[in-house]
């Protein structure tokens, strides 16, 4: 009988937190700490965006940009404006609901990760500044387990 492929159990980490507090509209966060994936070699991530109470404008979204170090030392150093023009650095854009003034928790699933070290930045395109506390980006990384 052939082996059964299953998901490995995900490991979680808080990637961005207090750096998102009071982040102005149309502004990017500072880069996260380095996420070391050249040893873990995780293939996938579920990205959880937690936003404290806000009233987003129509068409609101947040974008996650990835700054990959191909040599495990140096990272891209583009300005935020240039980074927005570099679509190869865009990891994912996530729509934010605009129907009520509430906290929001949205998840992007099965996002492919690079096999190197990287940092991320969040681009606030919600139409409003983020709340003064309670915002986060969490990663849940995992792989395929082909040994069942």
Residues of the chain with pLDDT under 50: 1
- In the numeric block, which tokens belong to residue 100? 């009520």
pLDDT of residue 98: 85
CA 52, CA 102: separation in Å to the nearest integer? 7
- In the numeric block, which tokens belong to residue 119? 């940092």
pLDDT of residue 148: 59
Which residue is listed with tokens 């009520």?
Answer: 100
Q: 16 Cβ partners below 8 Å, 6+ apart?
A: 29, 32, 120, 122, 135, 136, 137
CA 63, CA 60: separation in Å to the nearest integer? 10
Contact between 50 and 86 (Cβ < 8 Å): no
* CATH number for the domain formed by residue range(s) 14-142: 2.60.120
CB atoms within 10 A of CB 72: 13
Number of residues in the chain: 148
The DSSP bridge partners found for residue 105 are: 50
CA 111, CA 100: separation in Å to the nearest integer? 28
- Domain spans in the chain, listed from the N-terminal domain onward: 14-142
pLDDT of residue 106: 94
3-class SS of residue 61: strand
């Amino acid at each position: 009988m052939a082996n059964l492929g299953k998901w490995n159990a995900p490991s979680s980490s808080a990637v961005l937190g207090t750096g998102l507090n009071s982040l102005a509209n149309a502004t990017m966060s500072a880069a996260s700490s380095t996420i070391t994936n050249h040893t873990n070699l995780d293939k996938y991530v579920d990205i959880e965006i937690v936003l404290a109470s806000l009233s987003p404008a129509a068409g609101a979204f947040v974008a996650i940009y990835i700054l990959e170090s191909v040599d495990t030392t140096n990272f891209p150093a583009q300005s935020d404006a240039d980074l927005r023009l570099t679509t190869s650095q865009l990891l994912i854009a996530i729509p934010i609901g605009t129907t009520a003034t509430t906290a929001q928790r949205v998840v992007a699933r099965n996002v492919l990760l690079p096999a190197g070290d990287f940092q991320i930045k969040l681009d606030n395109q919600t139409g409003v500044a983020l709340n003064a506390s309670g915002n986060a980006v969490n990663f849940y990384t995992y792989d395929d387990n082909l040994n069942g």
